[in-house]
Amino acid sequence: MLMEMDELMSLQTKKTVRFCLLLISLLLASCSDSSNQDQPLPQLPIVKGEVHLAPDSPKKSYIKTISLSLTQHPLLEPLTGRVTYNENETSHISSPVSGRVITEPVALGTRVSMGSTLLELDSPEVAAAEADYAKAQADLILANKGVIRQQELYVGKAASQKEFERAQDDYNAALSEVQRAQDRLKNLHISRQQNDGRFALRSSIKGIVVERHVNPGMEVRPDLDTPLFVVSETKKLTLLMAIFEVNLSKIKLGQKLSIAVPAYPNRLFPATVEYIGQVLDEKTRSIQVRCDLPNSDGLLLPGMYATITLDSAPDDQAIVIPLTAVFTEGDQDFVFIAIDENHYQQRPVEISLRLKDKAVISSGLSPNEHLVAEGALTLRSEEEVDADSSTNKK
């Protein structure tokens, strides 16, 4: 009986010990977990000029990056210019004779060919020219008969040599008068068979009638201040611009330009430098430059103002970045380069030309690097926060 009681107490003691050991084990595990949860996560060392963002940081939505590459770059600030007619493709047409308009003049905007009739005049001058030619022809016939008659008389000893020579002189004078009358008709583009006193004013080039200063029934004269018509080939225009003396070395004959006009703000039109003025305007210290401006689609109109971009030669390339990527501290310009998705590095750069929305970089960046085009100031503020945190810890 006593032995059974001892065995029972021994079993109970073992169970109690096991329970205590299990409880101690659970308490130790709980303390260990709490210690691990309270231990801070390891942080990357803070390096001046570098920023690390957490993968889930909301600030990453403000960061936009672009890949850098070499390209032709602007040489100057954008210039201003004006679109005008191409002088080589434009004709100011006036009437060489006086008269009254008897037909409907060609309407504005009409495309005409070289030699097309623009209007017709009833002209006393043309009638007089036709009459002069008819009289000269009659006088030539009469003079020719006189020569033949005097020649016959001279051969028959019935007329003197002097009389024969005088008849020849009269014939030569009549012939000259006919030639003069013919040239007058030819200059007016009038047929020698015409005798109605009408004059057809014709276009001297092909193109479009861009100006008209004449109406039916109007009396016109050669000395009018304003031409009756202006005909121009508007598919070939001219761009006029002025360039300052200090920038003259940056422009060359044959150089390619690109222009933009307010009517089509998202489109660029090519132009080519064809003439650089040889006289300097002493008041503005500028030189006038004329550029060939193709206009095959007819979108550009004479009188439009244009913004002109002067690019470098194809072999003169540099890195051009958005100005939003640049921030300045003191006298130095900086940008941020994306090392990876969460790591950004501050980089000093040298700017050779600062434009309205772009900057041409002369040193500090390389092709294929990833530039923070938007959000540089966000990264800069994050860098300052990291620096302050590091200082407070010390």
CATH code for position 296: 2.40.30.170
Q: Does 344 fall in a domain?
A: yes
- 291 & 329 share domain: no
Q: Does 139 fall in a domain?
A: yes
- 295 & 322 share domain: no
What local confidence, expressed as pLDDT, does residue 153 receive? 83
* DSSP bridge partners of 271: 257
CA distances from 294 to 33, 234, 257, 261, 318 (A): 78, 9, 12, 14, 28
Q: Is the pLDDT of residue 14 over 80?
A: no
Q: Is the pLDDT of residue 387 over 70?
A: no
What span, in angstroms and rounded, lies between the C-alpha atoms of 39 and 32? Answer: 11
Structure tokens at 48: 């001046």
Q: Please give the average per-residue pLDDT across 167-194, as a whole number.
A: 88
Residue with tokens 């640049």: 326
What local confidence, expressed as pLDDT, does residue 32 receive? 52
Q: Coil, strand or helix: which one is 301? A: coil
Q: Does 247 fall in a domain?
A: yes
Q: Is the pLDDT of residue 8 over 50?
A: no
Q: Are 346 and 352 in contact (CB under 8 A)?
A: no
Give one word for 224, left, alpha or beta, with left for phi > 0 and alpha for psi -120 to 50.
Answer: beta
Question: What are the DSSP calls for 154-216, one per residue?
Answer: HHTTSS-HHHHHHHHHHHHHHHHHHHHHHHHHHHTT--TT--S-EEEEE-SS-EEEEEE---T
Domain of residue 147, CATH code? 1.10.287.470
What local confidence, expressed as pLDDT, does residue 13 receive? 55
- 292 & 341 share domain: no
- 243 & 257 share domain: yes
Q: Please give the average per-residue pLDDT across 9-35, as a whole number.
A: 54
- 380 & 324 share domain: yes
Domain of residue 66, CATH code? 2.40.420.20
What span, in angstroms and rounded, lies between the C-alpha atoms of 261 and 29? Answer: 76
What span, in angstroms and rounded, lies between the C-alpha atoms of 333 and 338? Answer: 17
- 288 & 342 share domain: no
Structure tokens at 227: 């031409």
Q: Are 374 and 64 in contact (CB under 8 A)?
A: yes
Looking at 283, 310, 337, the residue that finishes a domain is 310
Q: Please give the average per-residue pLDDT across 273-282, as a whole number.
A: 94
Looking at 269, 288, 310, the residue that finishes a domain is 310
Q: Does 101 fall in a domain?
A: no
Domain of residue 243, residue span: 79-87+233-310
Higher pLDDT, 160 or 91: 91
Nearest CA to 339 out of 6, 2, 49 is that of 49
Looking at 169, 196, 223, the residue that finishes a domain is 196
Least confidently predicted of 68-77, 130-139, 378-387:
378-387
Q: Is the pLDDT of residue 72 over 60?
A: yes
What span, in angstroms and rounded, lies between the C-alpha atoms of 50 and 61? Answer: 18
Question: At 306, which helix (H) or strand (E)?
Answer: strand 305-310
Number of domains in the chain: 3
- 298 & 345 share domain: no
Q: Is the pLDDT of residue 41 over 50?
A: no
pLDDT tens figures, 50-59: 888 888 888 8
Phi and psi at 212, nearest 5°, equal -145, 125
Task: Name, in order, each residue with C-beta under 8 angstroms of 328's C-beta and a sequence gap of 6 or more.
Answer: 334
Q: Are 159 and 153 in contact (CB under 8 A)?
A: yes
- 239 & 253 share domain: yes
Instruction: Give the pLDDT band (50/70/90) at residue 306.
Output: very high
Q: Please give the average per-residue pLDDT across 122-143, as a whole number.
A: 91
Q: Are 385 and 376 in contact (CB under 8 A)?
A: no
Q: Does 44 fall in a domain?
A: no
Helix/strand/coil (H/E/C) assignment for every residue in 315-377: CCEEEEEEHHHCEEECCEEEEEEECCCCEEEEEEEEEEEECCCEEEEEECCCCCCEEEEECHH
CA distances from 319 to 67, 132, 279, 366 (A): 11, 76, 36, 8
Instruction: Give the pLDDT band (50/70/90) at residue 188.
Output: confident
Question: At 266, which helix (H) or strand (E)?
Answer: strand 264-276
Structure tokens at 207: 């193109």
- 303 & 333 share domain: no
Q: Does 254 fall in a domain?
A: yes
Q: Does 94 fall in a domain?
A: no
What local confidence, expressed as pLDDT, does residue 141 receive? 92
